[in-house]
Structure 1
């Protein structure tokens, strides 16, 4: 059954595709546009014209100030953590939870030598398979698509049925936790607690003080739509509570990144003067 979360996969990749037209893209991703449906490909193609690209950025920022840069920076942050772990020879598999139209299996050469499992709602998995087949004629040999509902199905069983075995894994869980209940998040962490030493986890979360209405961070329109009206965003965390939460499941917080880190690490070096959303943060953890 669709909850609405299965229809949120396209927007981030349109932003990545549009960013390819900038002088210095934050992410080098020639695949973003290719895997989008026809309407998304058209939108991405039109953004080669700067006025259209600026108009799309402005429309996005009206809902959540800083969302455009936040989406790009969080992907770059995960990429950097993943590349570092791969370079160190620590990783034997990658599992992307709530993969949507993520392109890492196509655009990161280092992943061609290890198995990659993309987990998502069945509707998104069907769309992803169709997109890959259209763009490549097939699903890449090292990529396995795993349909699962995080709220109702057992993640470990679903992965095992598709050939995943316990090994040092880099888990990516980007822009998913807010769509789940706390029980759904904890069930996923019950699975993550079984990962062997040497595994990595990169995930994002929405601030709890935004979800409970304490602080809107200028994103009143998003609060009205995603929290009050559609009730899609349900789970949040406080930054100071993340380390203890992870420790319950045997994970160690290596770093949290938000607006300040993204500005100094990615935006300023690339000459991009853009705001970054305060309502979402990224975390890199290890076992």
Structure 2
């Protein structure tokens, strides 16, 4: 039997839910991506495997399926955007709140790619132990940085080898909903300060009236998750980004899902954002 490893509680625990969705998708013959390490994280934490239960244990099967499809579409969308940015010369990749993300190990990065993963020490300790047990080998130069993104992390990233003068692609996937407006603004301001012109920023931002957000807030079994949500920016992210030197766009999740041949839910803009750092 696999030894159970301690996993951080609270926000850190949500990474297992994402891993469960990715492990379940990896079992499909028509999968949109393959994450061969996701099931290993579940086993190490003592969670049932992806073939034994839905991706999100919400107590509400319909809500669980909705969250599963959201996570799958989100994962594939950012996979595609990250690889396109790297192919275009953004060879520094920073995954903020990386959780149990395994893109360093499963995506075909261009030669010379340097990928940085930032998360809490407890999460990264769990992750590194499982990766070592699986003898996983990254497909790029990978650096792990234990840090709290609500505090001073930029200087530590530079000290770890990050070059602010080089074009970078940043990902904040499923993070900003757990930060307050001021914390979100602080994080994005630091990202901007470290971004050379032409850098890319991809992130999810909560849509307050989206179906999933409303259902999670009103589902008793999900109350623990809902209490962790702080909302992110208190204004349209496109407006904030425009004032701070970025050109941005939002992606319609339903249209994305249709392009992948998957259910997409409502036509809400979905909270998938892409931005390019402007000169000056």
1:105-144 equivalence runs, <5 A: 105-110=104-109, 113-136=112-135, 142-144=141-143
Q: Distance in 1 between matches of 2:110 and 2:127?
A: 18
Residue 240 of structure 2 corresponds to residue 234 of structure 1: no
The SS at the match of 2:197 is: coil
Highest relative contact order (Cα 8 Å, sep 6+), 1 or 2? 1
Alpha carbons of 1:36 and 1:105: their partners in 2 closer, same or farther (altered >3 Å)?
farther
> Please, which runs of 5 or more residues in structure 1 have no aligned partner?
none
**Deviations 1:217-244 (CA, angstroms, capped at 9, x unpaired):** 57621774433xxx20002458x82211
The SS at the match of 1:9 is: helix
Q: TM-score, normalised by structure 2?
A: 0.82
Q: CA RMSD in A?
A: 3.1
Match of 1:282 in 2: 272
Aligned 8 A contact 1:33 1:40 in 2: no
Residue 261 (structure 1) shift: 2.0
Match of 2:5 in 1: none
**Deviations 1:161-203 (CA, angstroms, capped at 9, x unpaired):** 3221212111011001111111211111111112001111110
Residue 15 (structure 1) shift: 0.9
Alpha carbons of 1:55 and 1:154: their partners in 2 closer, same or farther (altered >3 Å)?
closer
Per residue, is there more helix in 1 or in 2?
1
1:126-275 equivalence runs, <5 A: 126-136=125-135, 142-151=141-150, 153-166=151-164, 167-194=166-193, 195-209=195-209, 216=214, 220-221=218-219, 224-227=223-226, 231-236=227-232, 241-253=236-248, 255-266=249-260, 268=261, 272-273=262-263, 275=265
Q: Distance in 2 between matches of 1:189 and 1:251?
A: 11
Q: Distance in 1 between matches of 2:178 and 2:35?
A: 26
Aligned 8 A contact 1:63 1:220 in 2: no
Alpha carbons of 1:55 and 1:28: their partners in 2 closer, same or farther (altered >3 Å)?
closer
Match of 2:3 in 1: none
1:61-76 equivalence runs, <5 A: 61-63=61-63, 66-76=66-76
Residue 39 (structure 1) shift: 4.3
> Please, which runs of 5 or more residues in structure 2 have no aligned partner?
1-7
Aligned 8 A contact 1:177 1:185 in 2: yes
Match of 1:79 in 2: 79
Match of 1:101 in 2: 100
Q: Distance in 2 between matches of 1:41 and 1:58?
A: 14
